[in-house]
Amino acid sequence: MNALAATNRNFKLAARLLGLDSKLEKSLLIPFREIKVECTIPRDDGTLASFVGFRVQHDNARGPMKGGIRYHPEVEPDEVNALAQLMTWKTAVANIPYGGAKGGIGCAPGELSISELERLTRVFTQKIHDLIGIHTDIPAPDMGTGPQTMAWMLDEYSKFHGYSPAVVTGKPTDLGGSLGRDAATGRGVLFATEALLHEHGKAISGQNFVIQGFGNVGSWAARLIQEKGGKIVAVSDVTGAIKNSKGIDIPRLLDHVKENKGVKGFDGGDSLDPDSILVEDCDILIPAALGGVINRENANEIKAKFIIEAANHPTDPEADEILSKKGVVILPDIYANSGGVTVSYFEWVQNIQGFLWDEEKVNNELKTYMTKAFKDIKEMCQTHNSNLRMGAFTLGVNRVARATVMRGWEA
């Protein structure tokens, strides 16, 4: 089942639990606007290259739309649509005043030079500048993009609209980016895990963790979990996987990754088949890479008691059912990885106020939001006698549905 079908399925289950009217259900599912643009740039060798850019603006009942821009060869409308819809529910679960959006360009960023990426970003911004804005739609980095991409977008947008730092988040701090934004999603994963374990009378300390994916989110989560006394026993990324039952030295691994562009070859652990990392023996599994990695083929083999979904849509619905029958507790992506968008919200607030927070304030506010959201999800679980995924979906969908009705938008 692809990401869009799975997201629609979860939405429909939540709508049924909430007893939503069928017309309202339909209007909540239809995107506000879908944008598709051609981006043609001169390559460094003088030839022209064309790329297709997308922006799906899903819902703005609760506030301006918010979501990342990804540069990836497989960016296609269905995936962008699913991720935009997920952002609508995610921002509602976090209780920040946003709706959902997502965008991207179908390209292989590794095959483009820095100047080609800059030209591509600027052309894309030129095509969509009148459809995004501080109170309309606020892009952010995603897979294949980062603070530099946001700096180019901000500069290009400002040529048309005047200096507008709040139009994108995830910017470099010198251009109004927030302190703590780089670690935000990983730190949010830590706070979400703490909230879940506390519910079960446990703490991070003394638990064994396996982390699939060692990019920004996975590496920050690993670093922060180890600082709290958790033991990281296996880690993987695109280059390979390593394990060490005594615990991997994360600061040393981070140095190795910086030098060697991946975990492969790290001498502080034994190498491991990356395909088997999800079924390694551990207490807590954190998939922090791509979607659909936990499926019916491997769900029965998973030994973890808890799964924290740091990636978007890592568990497909069939695996969900298998795991819940086994008693595995899954903390869903629309809550577990919402630290990034929450600190993006803090960045936007700081830009609008023209007042910079210190990092301690950012982290404390993030913990407050993550802890409150978990409490709200648990209340929905009790109301509807559901698991955490349906608790989160009913919470998010209910908030958006209420805003839609109050604004008089229902069909």
What is d(CA 345, CA 66) in angstroms, rounded to the nearest whole number?
A: 9
Tokens of 379: 């209340």
Question: Closest Cα to residue 190, out of 337, 55, 77, 290?
Answer: 337
102 catalytic per annotation:
yes
The token pair that represents 47 in the structure block: 């030839």
Q: Which among 102, 171, 231, 243 is annotated as catalytic?
A: 102
- C-alpha to C-alpha distance for 131 and 383, rounded to whole angstroms: 39
Give the whole-angstrom CA distance, residue 213 versus residue 40. 33
Sequence-distant (6+) residues with CB within 8 A of 337 are 90, 185, 188, 189, 217, 309, 310, 311, 312
- E strand or H helix at 296, and its extent? none
> How many residues are present in the chain?
411
Residue 220 CA to residue 240 CA, distance in Å, equals 18
411 bridge partner residues: none
What are φ and ψ of residue 207, in 5° steps? -90, 145
Residues identified as active-site: 102
